[in-house]
Structure 1
Amino acid sequence: MNCCCEDGKIRALKLEGDVGADPVWCHQCGCNLDIEEVPISNELKQTLILWAGKYGEWIDWDKDCLIDNGIELEERFNQAGYTLLQQLKQEIGEVYSITYSASSSARHYARKYKG
């Protein structure tokens, strides 16, 4: 795995959903890592890809607003992320430290467009 750190050595990973990105990042430099290069099982890779593909389902991108029940959808996404974090830790937790960055975009949209 390669990242943008000066020495090129990844010491810590971050699990985070984002639009159009693989869900694993270098925690130091913020570089998005190719999920195919992360040393985990193919089953977990596929699960992570499916989970990441759900990022932002709580936002109506065309109207740039939160959909009805958007906060609940984001909370479910984050709960699934915490579960996946545990699975990542089981598979590579001794090689890298791993953290989860929960989404807060629904709350941002709720505040942004609050009457």
Structure 2
Amino acid sequence: MICLCEEQEIFDLKLEGDFGADPIWCISCGCNIDLEEMPLSDELKNELLNWVLDFGKWIDIVHEKWLPNGSYLENAHNTRGRSLVEKIQGELGKAYTITFISSNMSNS
């Protein structure tokens, strides 16, 4: 895994949804980590890609407003993200720290 940190060894990661980006980031420098470089199972990589593709489906971006059930959809996305953190942690082991950054558009 490559990031912009001087050490180039990444042990502190965050899972965070964003538009058009893989969902794992270096917590120190903020670099987006290429999911293909992660030592994770293909099954988990697919789950992560599906999760991040659902990011923002609770808002109408063009009109900048919530969609019906937007708060519920955002909460479901965050719940699924927390579950994925546990799976990532399980596959990477204790050498890594994975932090979940929830979507908080409902608080914006």
Query: Structure 1-normalised TM-score?
Result: 0.89
Give the ranges of 4+ consecutive aligned residues of structure 1 lying more than 6 Å apart after TM superposition: none
Distance in 1 between residues matched to 2:39 and 2:72, nearest whole Å: 32
Alpha-carbon distance, 1:44 to partner = 0.2
Q: TM-score, normalised by structure 2?
A: 0.95
Query: Rg larger in 1 or in 2?
Result: 1
Residue 51 of structure 2 aligns to a residue whose secondary structure is: helix
Q: CA RMSD in A?
A: 0.9
Alignment of 1:49-88 (within 5 A): 49-88=49-88
- Contact kept? 1:59, 1:106, Cα under 8 Å: no
- The percentage of counterpart residues that share the same residue type is 44
User: How many angstroms apart in 2 are the aligned matches of 1:71 and 1:107?
Assistant: 10
How many residues were matched structurally?
108
Q: Which runs of 5+ in 1 are unaligned?
A: 109-115
Structure 1, residues 28-76: CA drift from partner, whole Å, max 9, x if none?
1111000000110000000000000000001101111111211110000
The yes-or-no answer on 1:14 pairing with 2:11 is: no
Stretches of structure 2 lacking an aligned partner (at least 5 in a row):
none
